[in-house]
Every structure is written in C-alpha cells, then in structure tokens.
C-alpha cells in the first residue's frame, strides 16, 4: 500500500529529475531563457497590434465612422458616388448644351442604368449612415446645423430624383432592364398618373441636385481655405 507520504516523495523525485534534465546544463538553461523571451515578445506584439487596432479605430482610420473621421466604407460610398454623379451630370449638361451629338450619346447613353445604380447606392449609403449616426463627426454651432440641413437636402434629392424617373419608367410601360436584368417588363399600355410627377419634376429637381452639389463642394473648399474647420480632412 502506498501512503500519501510515498506519493509526495515520488512526485518530488519526478520534479527533481525533470528539473535536472531540463535545466541541468548551461545550454539547456539558455534554451529555456530564449523560449520564455520569445513567448514574452509574441505577447507584446499581439498586445501592441490590438492596441494599435483600437487606436486606429479611435483615430478613424478603420471601417466604421468615428467622431474624428468618416470610416473607409462611408468614404468609399462618398467618393464612388461623387465620381458616378460627375458622369451622370456630364451627360445631362452635354445634352442641354450641345444637344444629341456623338459625345452626348457616349456619356449620356448610360443615364438610366447609372441613375438606377446611384439610386441603389444612396439607399445603401443611407442605411450605413444611420447605423453610424452616433459615431459620425459632430456638426456644432450654426454653421454645423446648416451643414446637416444641406446634407439632408442632398440625401432627399438623391432619393427623389431617381425615384420619380423610375416611377415614370414603370408608368410608360416601356420596360427597364439595367445590365440586361429585367426589372420592369414591357407592357402595351401606359399608367398616366405614374408619369406625371417625373415629367414635371425629374428635369428640374435633377438640376437642383446639381446646384446643391456645387454649393456643397464650394463650402467644403471655403471651409478648408478659411481654416475654420477643415471638414475635408475627415472625408479623405
């Protein structure tokens, strides 16, 4: 029969043997020191990385918006849509200035499809904006409130202008297949009331949106020049 004393003695001998085998020579001790230092360094690197990660989130170089800066996704939406709007309005301006020429067809030929893409993008961007509402850069003071009203106007027009055109397109019965995907089938009859708002307002609200965008861009640069509040920094 083995009593507790025998077990303790055996455990002591095993530990002794292990420590002798593992740490007996100078070489083995050096190996262990190296191993422990490497473990320490890895922990430090992981810690530094996670620290850096949370710092970058705080400074606004991450995916989400922060009070200091718009995140990558909001900036991606903003600049991608700015480029698409540039193309969309280039076509519209060519049409009203030089009329139906080859260059107008080249740029404006994608008007309906590009308009539909912009419509989908603004909905996604709006949802993303609402999800980040509490984290976004604040707009303090009277100028800030004016900026928020301006952004709201931009959003409203970005939704209303293509919506009216899509409603009109449906009412016309001509069908609509952006990128070859049939969203609206062709019909043999029109639905007049669906076409009226688009006929009356799509053109004018479209140009009102262009004017608002030009005002918005001007304000961004005026602010930067006046060095009052460099809002451009948080969108690039």
Q: Which residues would be at the binding site for ligand HEM (CB under 6 A)?
A: 74, 78, 81-82, 85, 88, 92, 95-96, 108, 111-112, 115-116, 118, 129, 137, 139, 147, 151, 154-155, 158, 161-162, 165-166, 169, 176, 202-203, 206-207, 209, 213, 216-217, 220, 231-232, 234-235
d(CA 18, CA 200): 90
Cβ proximity to ligand HEM, 36 vs 82, nearer residue: 82
Cβ proximity to ligand HEM, 137 vs 171, nearer residue: 137
**Alpha-carbon distance values, 2 to 5, 6, 9, 12, 15 (Å):** 8, 6, 11, 15, 19
Please report how close the Cβ of residue 187 comes to ligand HEM at its closest, in angstroms. 15
d(CA 120, CA 122): 6
Cβ proximity to ligand HEM, 42 vs 149, nearer residue: 149
Please report how close the Cβ of residue 151 comes to ligand HEM at its closest, in angstroms. 4
Phi/psi for 64 (5° steps) reads -90, 160
Residue number of the CB atom closest to ligand HEM: 115
Cβ proximity to ligand HEM, 66 vs 165, nearer residue: 165
Name beta bridge partners: 184.
176
SS3 128: helix
Are 198 and 170 in contact by the 8 Å Cβ rule? The answer is no
Please report how close the Cβ of residue 94 comes to ligand HEM at its closest, in angstroms. 8
Residue 157 in tokens: 């027009």
User: Any idea which residue has 């991450």 for tokens?
Assistant: 62
Please report how close the Cβ of residue 103 comes to ligand HEM at its closest, in angstroms. 13
Please report how close the Cβ of residue 112 comes to ligand HEM at its closest, in angstroms. 4
Cβ proximity to ligand HEM, 55 vs 196, nearer residue: 196
How many Cβ atoms from other residues are within 10 Å of residue 85's Cβ?
17
Are 220 and 70 in contact by the 8 Å Cβ rule? The answer is no
């Amino acid at each position: 029969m083995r009593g507790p004393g025998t077990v303790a003695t055996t455990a002591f001998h095993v530990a002794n043997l292990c420590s002798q085998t593992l740490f007996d020579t100078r070489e083995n001790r050096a190996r262990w020191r190296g191993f422990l230092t490497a473990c320490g360094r890895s922990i430090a690197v992981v810690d530094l990385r996670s620290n850096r990660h949370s710092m970058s989130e705080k400074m606004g170089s991450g995916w989400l918006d922060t009070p200091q800066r718009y995140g990558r996704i909001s900036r991606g939406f903003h600049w991608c849509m700015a480029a698409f709007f540039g193309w969309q309005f280039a076509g519209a301006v060519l049409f009203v200035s030089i009329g139906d020429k080859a260059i107008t067809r080249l740029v404006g030929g994608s008007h309906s499809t590009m308009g539909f893409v912009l419509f989908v993008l603004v909905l996604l961007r709006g949802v993303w904006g609402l999800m980040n509402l509490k984290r976004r850069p604040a707009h303090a003071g009277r100028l800030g409130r004016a900026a928020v009203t301006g952004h709201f106007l931009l959003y409203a027009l970005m939704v209303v202008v293509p919506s009216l055109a899509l409603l009109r397109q449906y009412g016309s019965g001509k069908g609509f297949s952006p990128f070859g995907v049939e969203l609206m089938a062709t019909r043999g009859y029109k639905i007049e009331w669906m076409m009226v708002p688009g006929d009356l307002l799509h053109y004018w609200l479209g140009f009102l949106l262009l004017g608002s965008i030009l005002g918005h861009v001007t304000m961004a640069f005026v602010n930067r020049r006046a060095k009052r509040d460099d809002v451009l920094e948080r969108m690039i």
